[in-house]
């Protein structure tokens, strides 16, 4: 049997973008990738096997080589800081990391900043020379300033609906975010033919869509 390319795919709202991109690249993905409880989906006719991952775990699977390739948001790459190759900017799931707060927010000494991305938040304020206390949350982070848990938050903004509906404002943009194709360092060399072919096809689809 040929050596399959193991590809870690994040679960969740990004899946529809990945389906479209692979379709446009002439590699339609298995239908059951998003609506099944099965986490290993073979696609031997494509020479691939898909591993369905929580988005934040994709760089971990790729660093440890249990997946050769993965699709990970730049947000997750910044937070996890894993030793992987970033091969392509897929240009999908476009959003931004921002500092967000209440409109009447006032600077305080040693403010509390809530985030699902504590490393990103800590690094951002450290580089600005501002001392903050970072509080790690696991979701619905926009609640934190409303209930008095934090002075500000660091979170993703896509349409802006969530901050608007919660009466919050974007104070500073930290970084633009898109999804990336990433590779394990050893797989990149050992399976270079297959990796390069996947990259070329995706790149053509990205160029055609631009």
- Part of the chain binding ligand PRP (CB under 6 A), chosen from 62-70, 85-93, 157-165, 179-187: 157-165
Binding ligand PRP by CB under 6 A: which of 119, 122, 162, 166? 162
Residue ranges of alpha helices (H) inside the chain are 15-24, 32-35, 58-63, 74-80, 118-127, 143-146, 161-165, 185-190, 192-209
Rounded to whole angstroms, the Cα distance separating 80 from 60 reads 8
Tell me how many degrees the CA angle 146-147-151 measures, rounded to the nearest 5: 65
Q: Of 17, 16, 18, which Cα lies nearest the Cα of 7?
A: 18
- Check binding of 153 to ligand PRP (CB under 6 A): no
Count the residues of the shown chain that bind ligand PRP, applying the rule CB under 6 A. 13
- Check binding of 166 to ligand PRP (CB under 6 A): no
- Check binding of 57 to ligand PRP (CB under 6 A): no
The alpha carbon of 54 is separated from its chain's Cα centroid by a whole number of angstroms, namely 10
- Check binding of 32 to ligand PRP (CB under 6 A): no
- Check binding of 156 to ligand PRP (CB under 6 A): yes
Please, which residue, 56 or 66, has the CB nearer to ligand PRP? 56
Please, which residue, 103 or 129, has the CB nearer to ligand PRP? 103
Q: Which residues bind ligand PRP (CB under 6 A)?
A: 116, 139-142, 155-162
């Amino acid at each position: 049997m040929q050596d399959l390319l193991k590809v870690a795919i994040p679960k969740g709202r990004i899946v529809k973008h990945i389906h479209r991109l692979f379709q446009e690249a002439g590699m339609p993905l298995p239908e059951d990738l998003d609506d099944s409880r099965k986490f290993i989906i073979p696609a031997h006719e494509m020479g691939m096997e898909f591993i369905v991952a929580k988005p934040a775990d994709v760089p971990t699977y790729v660093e440890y080589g249990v997946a050769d390739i993965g699709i990970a948001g730049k947000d997750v790459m910044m937070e996890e800081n894993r030793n992987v190759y970033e091969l392509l900017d897929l240009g999908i799931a476009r959003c931004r990391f921002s500092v967000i707060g209440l409109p009447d927010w006032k600077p305080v000494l040693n403010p509390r900043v809530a985030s699902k991305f504590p490393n990103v938040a800590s690094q951002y304020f450290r580089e600005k020379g501002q001392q903050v206390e970072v509080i790690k949350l696991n979701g619905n982070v926009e609640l934190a300033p409303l209930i008095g848990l934090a002075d500000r938050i660091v979170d993703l903004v896509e349409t802006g609906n969530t901050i608007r509906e919660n009466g919050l404002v974007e104070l500073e943009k930290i970084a633009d975010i898109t999804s990336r194709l990433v590779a394990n360092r050893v797989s990149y060399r050992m399976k270079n033919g297959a990796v390069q072919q996947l990259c070329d096809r995706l790149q053509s689809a990205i160029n055609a869509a631009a």
